[in-house]
């Protein structure tokens, strides 16, 4: 049996309406998991769910604002009610900032970026872990970033948030290492998504400029990050905890 066979498992994915979250939800479903897709963009979730269902997969679409703990609890309750378990959580929802020097931002910018990226990860894990403990274990992957590994000019708040996600992941992994709950992070480089299309102005020239940031000479595909997440949640990664798996086309070492 393949290490990436998730038949009978239940996966909960935030930010599942597009990009990395959507690709990962689809990948889990193709690998046999029942998948709960959670996103503030419920239409995006529903569209992703149609793709899964057309391939014969089982899934659930849930509108969820990950900055609100009540939304997270309701989404997890709905997942348990529908599928009866929670084996895997991919806490992927996030928000970016415009490129600008730190002093150009206000306190509201700080709170928005930190809430969507860091506080949401804390709130998700805070509610997922007790469920997994009750069921004897599970796997959690959080989305950090290449910006959580190195510094980027003009990206202070986002960088602080993604560094924080990595620190949160590592410490939590030690807390539950003996409880059969493995917690890791994935650190993507620049990946094709709605966000990169917005940043680039959705032009060929803009996308080429982003691709030029990658030593590999191209943007990443969401499916490439999804593959890394599935590996982290597989039995093949059973000795891997507290790791920030960098999948970035060489960005952080270039």
Number of H helices, E strands in the chain: 9, 7
The pLDDT of residue 202 is 74
The pLDDT of residue 2 is 52
- What's CA 70's distance to the chain center, in Å? 20
Q: What angle do CA 67, 73, 75 make, to 5 degrees?
A: 90
The catalytic residues are 158
Full pLDDT tens readout for the chain, 254 residues: 357 899 999 999 999 999 999 999 999 999 999 999 999 999 999 999 999 999 999 999 999 999 999 999 999 999 999 999 999 999 999 998 888 999 999 999 999 999 999 999 999 999 999 999 999 999 999 999 999 999 999 999 999 999 999 999 999 999 999 999 999 999 999 998 777 777 777 788 888 888 888 999 999 999 999 999 999 999 999 999 999 999 999 999 97
Q: What is the CA radius of gyration of the chain?
A: 17
Q: Domains in the chain and their CATH numbers?
A: 10-191+221-246 (3.40.50.720)
For 2, other C-beta atoms within 10 Å of its C-beta total: 11
- Distance between CA atoms of residues 10 and 99, nearest Å: 37
The pLDDT of residue 1 is 39
Which residues does 193 contact at the CB level (< 8 Å), separation at least 6?
Answer: 18, 19, 20, 222
DSSP-derived letter for residue 190 is S
Three-state secondary structure call for residue 173? helix
């Amino acid at each position: 049996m393949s290490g990436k066979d998730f038949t009978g498992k239940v996966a909960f994915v935030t930010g599942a309406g597009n990009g990395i979250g959507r690709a990962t939800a689809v990948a889990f479903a193709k690998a046999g998991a029942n998948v709960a897709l959670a996103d503030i963009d419920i239409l995006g979730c529903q569209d992703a769910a149609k793709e899964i269902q057309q391939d014969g997969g089982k899934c659930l679409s849930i509108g969820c604002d990950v900055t609100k703990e009540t939304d997270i609890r309701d989404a997890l309750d709905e997942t348990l009610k529908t599928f009866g378990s929670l084996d895997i959580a991919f806490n992927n929802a996030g928000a970016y900032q415009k490129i600008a020097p730190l002093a150009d931002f206000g306190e509201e910018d700080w709170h928005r970026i930190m809430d969507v990226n860091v506080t949401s990860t804390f709130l998700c894990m805070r509610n997922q872990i007790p469920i997994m403990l009750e069921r004897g274990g599970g796997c959690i992957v959080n989305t950090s970033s290449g910006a959580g590994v190195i510094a980027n000019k003009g990206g202070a708040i986002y960088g602080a948030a993604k560094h924080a996600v990595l620190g949160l992941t590592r410490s939590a992994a030690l807390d539950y290492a003996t409880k059969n709950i493995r917690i890791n992070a994935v650190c993507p480089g620049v990946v094709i998504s709605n966000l990169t299309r917005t940043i680039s102005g959705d032009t060929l020239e803009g996308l080429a400029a982003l691709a030029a940031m990658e030593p590999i000479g191209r943007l990443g595909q969401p499916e490439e990050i999804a593959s890394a997440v599935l590996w982290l949640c597989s039995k093949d990664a059973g000795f891997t905890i507290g790791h920030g798996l960098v999948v970035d086309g060489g960005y952080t070492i270039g």
